[in-house]
């Protein structure tokens, strides 16, 4: 399928940001510290905009995933052991960039006994120790449903707990063979059981062949499992080897879905063609706070 005009124009604008001085500086500092970002590894179309503002979503626990999702660009090579200095490096760079809100995610690490939960916790703790006022948002894998791993992350007191449902259940066989739709929903709900005071967040990508009814049912499932913050964006195939795009949704359709989601009770929603789960994360958090504080 050809890229529609509205996506081509947005991507062109975003690519211009990659050439400015601020964006170049971000890339250099990440390389110097041997740190990864999901912006680069997952080929995020917004990285130029975010880098130009001194923002990035850190990718901890290496750049190799132990699973093989059909939509994801993250490498499937053999993972390396976690870097024990990584949490400190991230915190120091976040302080240098004067970040007020830090998002960090990881590839799935089924090779680790806790799925990387302790490394997530250490990253939260180090960030808060070095920048006491910072808000933290770990975007975690499913930890194979481990309650103990979930507890480890939440005990570090993040401000938002994120886990992406990604797509509707009928797409899991082709897009997320090693994941489980209900396991992901239960991970989020269990996080609320453990810490009802921490916002929960999830993301949905559209364009993999889902129907309108399936989208609506998935949104209802997310609300029933107590998801507070929601992102919705267009799937863009990273390469010809990945799953093809079945449909390009228009900006108007994304706006309509965003409005429907708000009516369902999500505290904050960001919905648009190039929206990704960590895009404008600080803004989404503030919108959720306002919905509570008034």
pLDDT tens for residues 114-166? Answer: 999 999 999 999 999 999 999 999 999 999 999 999 999 999 999 999 999 99
pLDDT at residue 26, as a whole number: 64
DSSP for residue 152: H
Q: Is the pLDDT of residue 286 over 50?
A: yes
Task: Enter the tokens of residue 238.
Answer: 């990273």
Of 129, 115, 292, 131, nearest to 197 (Cα)? 292
Crossing angle, helix 147-154 and helix 181-194, to 10 degrees?
Answer: 50
Question: Averaged over 14-31, what is the pLDDT?
Answer: 57
205 neighbors 33 (Cβ within 8 angstroms): no
Strand arrangement of the beta sheet that strand 101-105 belongs to: 36-37, 57-59, 101-105, 135-139, 160-162, 199-206, 229-234, 268-271
pLDDT at residue 2, as a whole number: 72
**Cβ-Cβ contacts under 8 Å for 118 (sequence gap 6 or more):** 152
Q: How confident is the model at residue 75 (pLDDT cuts 50, 70, 90)?
A: confident
Q: How confident is the model at residue 1 (pLDDT cuts 50, 70, 90)?
A: low
139 neighbors 105 (Cβ within 8 angstroms): yes
pLDDT at residue 46, as a whole number: 46
Distance CA 214, CA 199 (A): 25
pLDDT digits (tens, 9 = 90+) for 165-223: 999 999 999 999 889 999 999 999 999 999 999 999 999 999 999 999 999 999 999 99
Distance CA 121, CA 132 (A): 15
Between 235 and 36, where is the model more confident? 235
Q: Is the pLDDT of residue 16 over 70?
A: no
Q: Within 13 Å of residue 152, how many CA atoms lie on the same side as its CB?
A: 18
Distance CA 98, CA 281 (A): 16
Distance CA 110, CA 62 (A): 13
Kindly state the percentage of the chain with pLDDT values over 70. 84
Mean pLDDT of the chain: 87
Q: Is the pLDDT of residue 252 over 70?
A: yes
Q: What residue segments make up the domains of the chain, in order of their start?
A: 5-293
Of 127, 190, 187, nearest to 157 (Cα)? 127
pLDDT at residue 133, as a whole number: 93
Burial classification of residue 145, based on how many CB atoms lie within 10 Å of its CB (0-12 exposed, 13-18 middle, 19 or more buried): middle
pLDDT at residue 33, as a whole number: 66
Q: Is the pLDDT of residue 50 over 90?
A: no
76 neighbors 42 (Cβ within 8 angstroms): no
Q: Within 13 Å of residue 195, how many CA atoms lie on the same side as its CB?
A: 20
3-state helix, strand, coil in the chain (%, to 5): 45, 15, 40
pTM of the predicted protein model: 0.88
Fold of 5-293: TIM Barrel (3.20.20)
pLDDT at residue 43, as a whole number: 44
């Amino acid at each position: 399928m050809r890229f529609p005009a509205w996506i081509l124009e947005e991507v062109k604008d975003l690519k211009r940001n990659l050439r400015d001085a601020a964006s170049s500086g971000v890339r250099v500092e990440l390389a110097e510290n041997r740190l990864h970002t999901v912006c680069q590894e997952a080929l995020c179309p917004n990285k130029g905009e975010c880098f130009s503002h001194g923002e990035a979503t850190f990718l901890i626990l290496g750049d190799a995933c132990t699973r093989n999702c059909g939509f994801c660009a993250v490498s499937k090579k053999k993972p390396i052991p976690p870097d024990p200095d990584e949490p400190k490096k991230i915190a120091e760079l976040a302080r240098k960039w004067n970040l007020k809100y830090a998002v960090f995610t990881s590839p799935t690490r089924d090779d680790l006994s806790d799925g990387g939960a302790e490394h997530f916790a250490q990253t939260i703790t180090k960030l808060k120790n070095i920048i006491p006022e910072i808000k933290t948002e770990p975007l975690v894998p499913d930890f194979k449903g481990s309650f103990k791993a979930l507890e480890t992350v939440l005990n570090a007191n993040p401000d938002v707990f994120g886990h992406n449902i990604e797509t509707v259940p009928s797409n899991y066989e082709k897009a997320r063979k090693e994941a489980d739709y209900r396991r992901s929903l239960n991970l989020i709900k269990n996080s609320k059981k453990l810490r009802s005071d921490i916002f929960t967040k999830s993301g949905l990508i559209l364009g993999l062949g889902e129907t309108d009814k399936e989208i609506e049912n998935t949104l209802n499932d997310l609300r029933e499992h107590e998801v507070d913050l929601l992102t919705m964006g267009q799937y863009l195939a990273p390469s010809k080897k990945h799953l093809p795009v079945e449909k390009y949704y228009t900006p108007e359709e994304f706006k309509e879905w965003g409005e429907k989601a708000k009516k369902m009770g999500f505290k904050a929603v960001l919905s648009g063609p190039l929206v990704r789960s960590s895009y404008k994360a600080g803004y989404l958090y503030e919108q959720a706070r306002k919905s509570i504080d008034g």
